[in-house]
Structure 1
Amino acid sequence: MNHDATPSSHPEPGVLSTHSVCGAPCWVSLTSRDLEATEDFYHAVLGWDWRSTAKLGEHFRIALVDGAPVAGIAAVASMWQMAVAWTPYFAVPSADAAVSRVQERGGTAAVGPISLPPGRAALLADRDGATFGIWEGELFTDWETWRKAAPAFIRLHTRDAFDAAMFYGEVLEWASDRPGCCEVRYEGEEVVLRSHGEVVARIESGALEAAPDPTIRPHWQIHFRVADVAACARAAECHGGSVLREGAEEAVLRDADGAQFTVTSRREI
């Protein structure tokens, strides 16, 4: 892989920096193979509109909900030999320092850190293989606005929630004395991450490292809030995707390119 290449679509300038939401998820992006097909699929399933971004080039698009940016799409999976997948990005005050902490703790750096003015980004994997990104710099949009319009939440399915919480806590400086850092609590058998008092992620045990089914290997799952779960599932099937699991309140879907995500009607995590 070309480590000097731009990772999957990343935050652009906004009004706040990653210092204000240290360690919290601040963006999500999708690597795909076919930009036009990806646009059509997510417009049909989630109702997203699209805009291009001159800074990133013809392979990138920004997804909009009621005019608010919610996600990035990068049709670079084949070009950069990357997996087709949704990836959460976490805000960090220093991308270089965060990547060093990942490598020191047994994780890997797939791309970066690289300079993308006005910030720096990297695409990483934890020591169980779950992929995530980091972003240092100005946020794409106001964090509160993004939280209202974007994913309902993200959830890490991993081998050992306690071990994962230690890894991410040290890498992303959770529960530190840094201003704006996230709070971590153990509730039942899950680890709960809060930023500014709001639950933004959960970590749960049970995933299997060598499982042939990617849905039960360690991974970050992106949950998008929708008005009608069943309608989204049927739209996914009609546009080349598939339904991996469906219930009354949420469904796990796979898009036409193979990336999985969850649609949910739940207002709270």
Structure 2
Amino acid sequence: MPPRDSYPDGAPCWVDLTTPDLAAAQDFYRPILGWEFQDQGAEFGHYTMCLSGGQPVAALMRPPEGAGELPPLWNVYLATSDLKAVHDRIADAGGSSALGPHEVPGAGWMAFAFDPTGASFGLWQPGAHKGSALVAEPGAMCWHELNTPDGATADAFYRELFPYIQQQIGDGTEFDYTTWKVPGSNDMPVCGRYRTAVRQPYWSVYFAVPDADAAAAQAQQLGGRLVREPFDSPHGRMAPVVDPAGARLTLCQLP
């Protein structure tokens, strides 16, 4: 597929990993996802692009100075064509801003915030950097979901930021999952929200792999661990893992 150069407002468009050891992260992700890496240099804090087939699909970064004991985490950025307007709605909707709006010279504008349930998320208004150039291909992101114990509060908050059309999956009690669509997404969900009893809510990222079982075995050999054994779902074969530093992700063999 040709490289992707745009995302509708509200769609996850980019991910980066906050991790204390960039070299160790590269050693883990390179063989599993087939990535090459491109250090952006000291000027950008050695922010490191992850490339699949020469195309940017994710990035690695060290915790910002002064961030304290920030846990290793994959950060998910939601696309916006008007970052300031979305950012200005965060506090009124019950969230809190952590950073921004902030220009990334030559790339775009970003902000970082927390939703009312405690999950962190990013906002990205593209300049030269449009987001992940590949989606739903081996080595690239293929799904994102918010994991939180308070689904109703989360759904309401994000509806204040973007024109999400949220559809309940399951009965909403024993199994509570909503899929989120936005205008411009061709009536396809762009992400989801899963109500689950996590102590620290978080946005999760799924990366496509050719073989989930082989990728899961490789992750363990490289110092990661399985959250659960690979399993089949209507959307592919899934392998939730934790990398050696403690960041969570899901490896997905698409149908």
TM tier relative to shorter chain: 0.7 to 0.9
Aligned to 1:160: 150
Q: 2:24 aligns with which of 37, 44, 49?
A: 37
The alpha-carbon deviation at position 136 of structure 1 amounts to 1.4
Aligned to 2:50: 63
The superposition leaves residues 124-181 of structure 1 with CA deviations (integer Å, 9 ceiling, x where unpaired) of: 11111111100113363476x432442110111122333312111111x224xxxxxx
1:1-269 matches, within 5 Å, as: 16=5, 21-54=8-41, 57=44, 59-76=46-63, 80-81=67-68, 82-117=70-105, 118-138=107-127, 140-141=129-130, 145-149=133-137, 150-171=140-161, 173-175=162-164, 183-188=165-170, 189=172, 190-194=177-181, 195-208=185-198, 211=199, 217-248=200-231, 249-267=237-255
Query: Do 1:101 and 1:170's aligned partners in 2 also have CA atoms closer than 8 Å?
Result: yes
Give the AA of the match of 1:42: Y
Q: Partner of 2:190: helix, strand, or coil?
A: strand
Instruction: Name the structure with the higher helix share.
Output: 1
C-alpha separation in 2, matches of 1:196 and 1:29: 26
1:157–1:113 Cα change, 3 Å: same
Identical pairs, percent: 31
TM-score (norm 1): 0.78
Give the AA of the match of 2:80: V
The superposition leaves residues 94-125 of structure 1 with CA deviations (integer Å, 9 ceiling, x where unpaired) of: 22222221122221222222122353211111
Greater displacement, 67-76 / 92-101: 92-101
The alpha-carbon deviation at position 262 of structure 1 amounts to 0.7
Count residues with an aligned counterpart. Answer: 236
1:186–1:55 Cα change, 3 Å: farther
C-alpha separation in 2, matches of 1:25 and 1:139: 17
The alpha-carbon deviation at position 196 of structure 1 amounts to 2.9
What's the Cα RMSD here? 2.4
1:159–1:78 Cα change, 3 Å: same
